[in-house]
Amino acid sequence: MSETAQTLRARAEIDLGALRANVRALRGRVGTDVQVMGVVKADAYGHGAVPCARAALEAGATWLGTATPHEALALRAAGIDAPVLCWLWTPGGPWDEGIRAGLDMTVSGLWALREVTEAARRTAQPARVQLKADTGLGRNGCQPADWSRLVGEALAAQGEGLLRVTGLWSHFACADEPGHPSIGAQLETFQEMLEAAEKAGVDPEVRHMANSPATLTLPQTHFDLVRPGIAMYGVSPSPEVGTPADFGLRPVMRLLGSVALVKDVPSGHGVSYGHHYVTDRPTTLGLVPLGYADGIPRHASGRGPVLVGGKVRTVAGRVAMDQFVVDLGGDAVEPGAQAVLFGAGDHGEPTAEDWARAADTIAYEIVTRIGSRVPRVYLNE
């Protein structure tokens, strides 16, 4: 790894070997009859979409998933030609570009079906369309009461050669809360909606429902394909589901900063904006050059854990835009020493889950919000 000036201040190391191993572990869990879609939305949860998409495919994922069409088109622009499903469309598309790029385009309602059909007429090319069912999440997707009309109009367009219905799918609300009663109810509704669509004449390539927690804990939800995101990055969907190690998964991202200053201060010295931390003895302070502009949650002020000089310290006072302080308690730490905010956790460093607890959020948000000012350094390419 090259230590360029840019990566000296801070860097997020992305272990693509760990990502490939995680994909293989997930494939082992679902068996050979079930395909794996690597979800790489939001710049692969902050890990870098293109390198992570390539690594996932190398390890046997056969599909990729994104939220927006622009994320999917960026994969195509990088030369990735694997099947890509994207699910968050707004009026205006870009449907024509999606058709030309051979994307699988999710349709949850009649407005989208009409726009994609018009685009197929314009481009004189059939669209690949996956119909999304709202089986209880109450977010995107088609309500059961509206399903037969959506399916019927999609089949009519398919009959005209304007599209092919390639998939039927849905998404869980509470798969990360083992035993939640909505899980069984959603599964039952999905089975009914599948049956209705197939009876009407849909013959999909893939039927799918499982996100990471369902992939890990609910084999009855795997159908033809699973859509893991967070698990592929070696992070647990929730503490209730288990730790990454429980499932043979290893965290992919390690976030480091280089200590920028170490100085002695007297007792009674306030630290950082608002003086929410005041030294209770003469001590030494270490400055870590990462802040909320880099995605370090300000909400973890006074709480976030950092490994510096062989010990886990706690953020002293507020996280600022570009930096925060730790109390080193007189320990011998030199400027340039590594401050590890989170990583795999097996070298004494905190994990993204630890930061999530400190910031009252989920580990998804911790890794995904690491900002563009932090260079990603790829290991084991």
Ligand X SMILES: *Cc1c(COP(=O)(O)O)cnc(C)c1O
**Binding footprint of ligand X on the chain (CB under 6 A):** 39, 41, 87, 171, 211-212, 227-231, 237
2's CB contacts (< 8 A; 6+ apart) are: none
Q: What are 169's strand-pairing partners?
A: 132, 208
Strand order in the sheet with 283-288: 261-265, 283-288, 324-327, 311-316, 305-308, 338-342, 253-258, 10-15, 376-379
| Alpha-carbon dihedral sign for residues 149, 153, 158, 162 | negative
Q: How far is the CB of 226 from ligand X (least distance, A)?
A: 9
346's CB contacts (< 8 A; 6+ apart) are: none
Nearer Cβ to ligand X, position 169 or 292? 169
Nearer Cβ to ligand X, position 70 or 275? 70
Q: What are phi and psi of 75, to 5 degrees?
A: -65, -45
Nearer Cβ to ligand X, position 139 or 347? 139
CA distance 371 to 310: 26
- For the question of residue 45 being annotated catalytic, the response is no
Nearer Cβ to ligand X, position 166 or 258? 166
The answer to whether 207 is a known ligand-binding residue is no
Q: How big is the CA angle at 40 (ends 37 and 53), to the nearest 5 degrees?
A: 75
327 and 277 Cβ atoms separated by less than 8 Å: yes
**Which residue in the shown chain puts its C-beta closest to ligand X?**
229
Q: How far is the CB of 194 from ligand X (least distance, A)?
A: 17
Catalytic choice (45, 132, 263, 273):
273
Nearer Cβ to ligand X, position 227 or 313? 227
- For the question of residue 41 being annotated catalytic, the response is yes
343 and 351 Cβ atoms separated by less than 8 Å: yes
Nearer Cβ to ligand X, position 134 or 327? 134
CA distance 119 to 366: 38
The answer to whether 321 is a known ligand-binding residue is yes
59's CB contacts (< 8 A; 6+ apart) are: 19, 20, 21, 22, 23, 24, 27
Q: How far is the CB of 239 from ligand X (least distance, A)?
A: 14
Q: How far is the CB of 281 from ligand X (least distance, A)?
A: 44
Catalytic choice (41, 132, 233, 378):
41
Q: How far is the CB of 257 from ligand X (least distance, A)?
A: 26
CA distance 153 to 146: 11
Q: How far is the CB of 175 from ligand X (least distance, A)?
A: 8
The two tokens of residue 118 are: 């018009």
CA distance 169 to 172: 10
Nearest to 137 by CA among 167, 168, 107, 182: 182
Report how far apart, in Å, the C-alpha atoms of 224 and of each of 98, 207, 327 are: 24, 5, 52
The two tokens of residue 72 are: 């999917």
Q: Point out the annotated binding site.
A: 139, 321
Binding-site annotation: residue ranges for substrate: 139, 321
Q: Which residues form the catalytic set?
A: 41, 273
